[in-house]
Amino acid sequence: MAKTTQKTASAKPKSSVPKIIAIVNNKGGVGKTTATVHIGHALARQGYKVLCVDMDDQANLVQYFFGRRKVNELKKQQNGVPLPIQHHDSAVDILMLSSFQGKESDFVQAIQSAAEGYDFVLLDSPPALEMRTQATLQAASGVLIPTEAGALAFSGTTNLINLAMEYELELHGIFVNLYESKMATQRAYYEQYSVHFADNFIPVRVNKSALFANAAADAQTGFQMQGKKIHKDLEAYIEIASILAGGTNNG
């Protein structure tokens, strides 16, 4: 059994079945990896046992948590079986499947056996609908879709909802990342999304913020950047984590 963080001492419900949540969008650069890191750390701060899985062969998730050197080190250790789970200071555990080779069913098996004992398993998926993404959807119990407030993202998001339905996954919701409140088009798209996606829309805006790029460059999470003080741009992720923990997307 891995340890839990004690940052928030309040009693949390003990679930025996992990929620395995695929963070998907075949579009690159919408913030899948950043969301996985920060929702993972936010859930850990709320006292949950969290495993984040890097499904992308670029290993950006592992890089975000540990830096590039660690990615290279782990790649050298890769043999025919999944690598051991890595522990991070945030209390989040990380499984790197980036350099693992196998069939779709091997990835599903690797995720499901690693998931045991965790409250949440967050799957950071690749930026294309390739085999690794299919394995991610196959292993998951639900999906969370980060998107941008723009025209191109709109139809892509609809396709992803249909895909989640095909895999019979719980749709935890869609949320807008890289939000710029000063841009009228973004405000308009945000409103349009909230109407169009209705109950599937998480009414939370993750601001475009230098915090995330700075954190990534320092190989730490945004929560670790300023010690005890929580940057306001992290509040959106705390809210999303609470929604996932509470099981509703309109609270």
Ligand X SMILES: Nc1ncnc2c1ncn2[C@@H]1O[C@H](COP(=O)(O)OP(=O)(O)O)[C@@H](O)[C@H]1O
User: Residue 165, CB half-sphere, CA atoms under 13 Å: how many?
Assistant: 7
218 secondary structure, DSSP code: T
Given 18, 19, 24, 32, the residue binding ligand X (CB under 6 A): 32
Q: Which is nearer to ligand X, 49 or 137 (CB)?
A: 137
Residues 32-91, interacting with Mg ion (CB under 5 A): 32-33, 60
Residues facing 53 on adjacent strands: 95, 123
Q: Which is nearer to ligand X, 58 or 109 (CB)?
A: 58
Using CB positions, name the residue nearest to Mg ion: 33
Amino acid at residue number 128: A
Considering the rule CB under 5 A, would residue 27 count as an interface residue with Mg ion? no
Nearest to 220 by CA among 101, 109, 92, 128: 92
171's tokens: 């749709």
| Cα distance between residue 99 and residue 114, in whole Å | 16
- What does 147 interact with, of ligand X, Mg ion, none (CB < 5 to 8 A by kind)? none
Element (H, E) at 33: helix 32-45
- What does 120 interact with, of ligand X, Mg ion, none (CB < 5 to 8 A by kind)? none
Given 91, 206, 234, 241, the residue binding ligand X (CB under 6 A): 206
The binding site for Mg ion (CB under 5 A) comprises 32-33, 60
Binding site for ligand X (CB under 6 A): 28-34, 60, 127, 177-178, 206, 208-209, 212-213, 216
